[in-house]
Amino acid sequence: MDNRVKEFSYGKAGISLSIIPATIIFLIPLVFLIKIVVDLITYLYAWIIGSPASLMTMAESIGGSIVGMGICLFMLPLPLVLLNQYNTIQVVEKGLKITTFGPFLFWKFIPWKDIVGIEKATRVDRWGQTTWVIKVKKLTPWHQYLGKFYGFGDCPIILLTSDMEDREQLVELIKQNCPTVKSVTP
């Protein structure tokens, strides 16, 4: 393989399918938190000027916001799920580099020897097209969950849906450079 880095991404599809929904989901608990703070300031101001609002009204308003924020905090891992679904992949001389999200975006290097295999999944993508799966020895907990969801047991996987630009070229590069997957046929 030449020394140039080849990058494969989901382009605008990745942004619309992962980053935008993840941002919206992340901001919803913030709205509830702002509402709680505004309610507390409002009731504190009313108490200071001598016309305290009903304690029951205050409790209902703030209680509803706290419950809503709690539900949203329970959903807080969902943005990470969405962001890790559509990875950008770089093919480098010694393996693959993929984007993963935790507290922040970082690149995870996967050497060729850690790629267990590449094959077609039994499930199709949202367009009814074949989904390729790169099976690896170790990755994030989300990728391990994907492996279970797609029927590969505890093996972490990386999905390659038809939304990925030049996906077939990536599959061929993996087959050429990884000794464990040379026998896989499309």
Per-residue model confidence (pLDDT) at position 2: 57
Six-digit token string for 25: 């989901």
Q: Give the pair of three-digit tokens for residue 159.
A: 């999905």
pLDDT at residue number 157? 93
Give the tokens for residue 10: 């989901």
What is the model's pLDDT at position 54? 67
pLDDT for position 15 = 67
For residue 87, count other CB atoms closer than 10 A to its CB: 27
- CA dist., res. 95 & res. 126, Å (int): 28
The CB-side HSE value for 146 (13 A sphere, CA atoms) comes to 25
**Ordered per-residue pLDDT tens for the chain, 186 residues:** 556 789 998 877 776 777 777 778 778 878 888 888 888 888 788 778 777 666 667 777 778 778 877 777 777 777 767 777 788 899 999 999 998 876 667 899 999 999 999 999 888 888 889 889 999 999 988 888 888 888 899 999 999 988 898 999 999 999 888 876 654 444
Q: Which two tokens stand for residue 20?
A: 């935008």
Q: What is the DSSP string of 80-146?
A: HHHHHHS--EEEETTEEEEEEESSSEEEEEEEGGGEEEEEEEEEE-TTS-EEEEEEES---HHHHHH
Distance CA 107, CA 88 (A): 9
Residue 186 has a pLDDT of 47
pTM more than 0.85: no
Q: In the chain, what are the domain boundaries?
A: 11-80, 85-181
Give the span between the Cα atoms of 95 and 9, in whole angstroms.
Answer: 16
Q: Say if CB 88 and CB 159 are below 8 A apart.
A: no
